[in-house]
């Protein structure tokens, strides 16, 4: 008679363990699939959304902010990503405008890809003109900026003890500011840039005088090679105690009093402001614009000439300034300038 095989306890035990292993593997694959979905499947806002991560915030708090803003699906997935990727999250304001994988969002936070607005400040612009550019870039009200430039004059006390504002010390450059940057923060950044560049060219001594002279040079010509020549004209006139008779200074005085009408009139030249260099000899009380390096260098080392007059390049259709040592020569240059204007179709 055939014997029956008896099932051993060992085979029963393996069957239970196999079932448990299968369940475990299914759960493991399910968790992995869920984690992959959370991390790699794009999620986020379809329209512009800003999230500001403040310095000192915990990663848990950052995850809560991102989840609340709809940038990530889950704060817990964010914590998991932090455990996997590590790295230091940089504080600042971030802009999100399209769905993205959590890995991409996290990479931006590690890079410090904070949202900024770019503003280009050309050489020779005044505080009033800079204020307009900042307002157009969405960086605050222009009047608030102008007022702050006066309040923050103490930023340059060591350079210019008598400075009434930061005019002249806001270095022309390309800047990137946070959307919520205050006027004081913006001004501080620009002054620090001035200090860096001034140090590079060895600016020292009577900084107030150099910057004031450089601001006039900057406003009178955009031609690099002419800057030392223009500076020499001003220096020669100062030596002879002749009034500088420079329109940019007159215009600046009008701007300070809210009287600038977009063009200079004969009556403006008779208006007694401290910046009217037709009425008052010497340099104006302070800078009338913010000069760049070339004008600062020209003011530090003017050319050696006997020039006392010039017709500014900016007004000359020929694209160059006309310099003269005598009034007769200057009058001929003025006549040549007017002829060039007429030939170019002007008045």
**11-39 pLDDT, tens digit each:** 455 566 666 665 555 555 554 555 566 66
pLDDT at position 132 over 90: yes
pLDDT cut 90: percent of the chain above it: 56
Q: What is the mean pLDDT of the chain?
A: 87
For 121, the enclosing helix (H) or strand (E) is none
Beta bridge partners of 50: 95
pLDDT at position 165 over 70: yes
pLDDT at position 1 over 60: no
Instruction: Please state, in angstroms and rounded to a whole number, the distance separating the CA atoms of residues 82 and 84.
Output: 5
Which is nearest to 191 in space by CA: 211, 205, 206, 209?
A: 211
In the chain the domains, ranked by start, together with CATH numbers, are 49-114 (3.30.1490.480), 117-200 (3.30.1490), 207-343 (no CATH)
- How would you class 178 by CB atoms within 10 Å of its CB: exposed for 0-12, middle for 13-18, buried for 19 or more? middle
Which region, left, alpha or beta, applies to residue 174 given φ > 0 means left and ψ of -120 to 50 means alpha?
A: beta
* Mean pLDDT confidence for 156-160: 96
pLDDT of residue 36: 61
pLDDT of residue 28: 53
pLDDT cut 70: percent of the chain above it: 85
Residues 6+ apart with CB under 8 A from 306: 236, 325
User: Among 3-12, 192-201, 323-332, which stretch is predicted with the lowest mean pLDDT?
Assistant: 3-12
CA angle 311, 342, 232 (to 5 degrees): 5
User: Among 79-83, 147-151, 313-317, which stretch is predicted with the lowest mean pLDDT?
Assistant: 313-317
pLDDT: which is higher, 229 or 321: 229
* Mean pLDDT confidence for 97-121: 91
The band of 224, judged by pLDDT with boundaries at 50, 70 and 90, is: confident
> pTM, whole model, 2 decimals?
0.80
Instruction: Please state, in angstroms and rounded to a whole number, the distance separating the CA atoms of residues 18 and 9.
Output: 14
* Mean pLDDT confidence for 278-282: 95
Instruction: Please state, in angstroms and rounded to a whole number, the distance separating the CA atoms of residues 341 and 337.
Output: 6
pLDDT: which is higher, 49 or 7: 49
Residue range 48-79, pLDDT digits in tens: 898 998 888 888 898 899 999 888 888 888 88
* Mean pLDDT confidence for 258-271: 91
User: Among 74-88, 212-226, 236-250, which stretch is predicted with the lowest mean pLDDT?
Assistant: 74-88
User: Among 50-59, 156-165, 252-261, which stretch is predicted with the lowest mean pLDDT?
Assistant: 50-59
pLDDT at position 295 over 90: yes
pLDDT of residue 340: 76
């Amino acid at each position: 008679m055939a014997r029956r095989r008896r099932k051993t306890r060992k085979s029963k035990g393996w069957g239970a363990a196999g079932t448990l292993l299968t369940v475990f593997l299914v759960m493991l694959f399910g968790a992995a699939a869920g984690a992959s979905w959370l991390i790699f499947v794009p999620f986020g806002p379809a329209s512009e959304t800003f999230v500001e991560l403040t310095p000192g915030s915990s990663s848990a708090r950052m995850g809560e902010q991102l989840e609340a803003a709809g940038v990530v699906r889950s704060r817990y997935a964010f914590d998991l990503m932090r455990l996997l990727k590590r790295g230091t999250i940089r504080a600042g304001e971030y802009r999100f405008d399209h769905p993205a994988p959590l890995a991409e969002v996290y990479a931006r936070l590690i890079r410090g890809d904070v949202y900024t607005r770019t503003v280009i400040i050309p050489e020779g612009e005044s505080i009033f003109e800079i204020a307009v550019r900042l307002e157009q870039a969405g960086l605050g009200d222009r009047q608030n900026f102008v007022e702050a430039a006066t309040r923050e004059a103490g930023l340059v006390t060591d350079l210019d003890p008598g400075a009434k504002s930061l005019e002249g010390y806001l270095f022309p450059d390309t800047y990137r500011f946070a959307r919520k940057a205050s006027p004081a923060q913006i001004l501080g950044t620009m002054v620090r840039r001035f200090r860096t560049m001034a140090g590079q060219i060895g600016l020292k001594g009577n900084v107030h005088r150099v910057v004031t002279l450089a601001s006039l040079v900057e406003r009178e010509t955009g031609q690099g090679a002419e800057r030392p020549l223009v500076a020499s004209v001003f220096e020669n006139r100062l030596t002879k105690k002749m009034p500088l008779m420079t329109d940019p200074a007159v215009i600046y005085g009008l701007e300070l009093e809210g009287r600038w009408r977009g063009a200079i009139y004969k009556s403006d030249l008779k208006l007694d402001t401290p910046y009217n260099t037709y009425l008052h000899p010497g340099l104006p009380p302070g800078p009338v614009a913010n000069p760049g390096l070339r004008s600062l260098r020209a003011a530090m080392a003017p050319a050696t000439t006997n020039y006392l007059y010039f017709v500014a390049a900016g007004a000359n259709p020929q694209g160059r300034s006309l310099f003269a040592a005598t009034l007769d020569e200057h009058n001929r240059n003025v006549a040549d300038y007017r002829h060039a204007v007429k030939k170019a179709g002007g008045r």
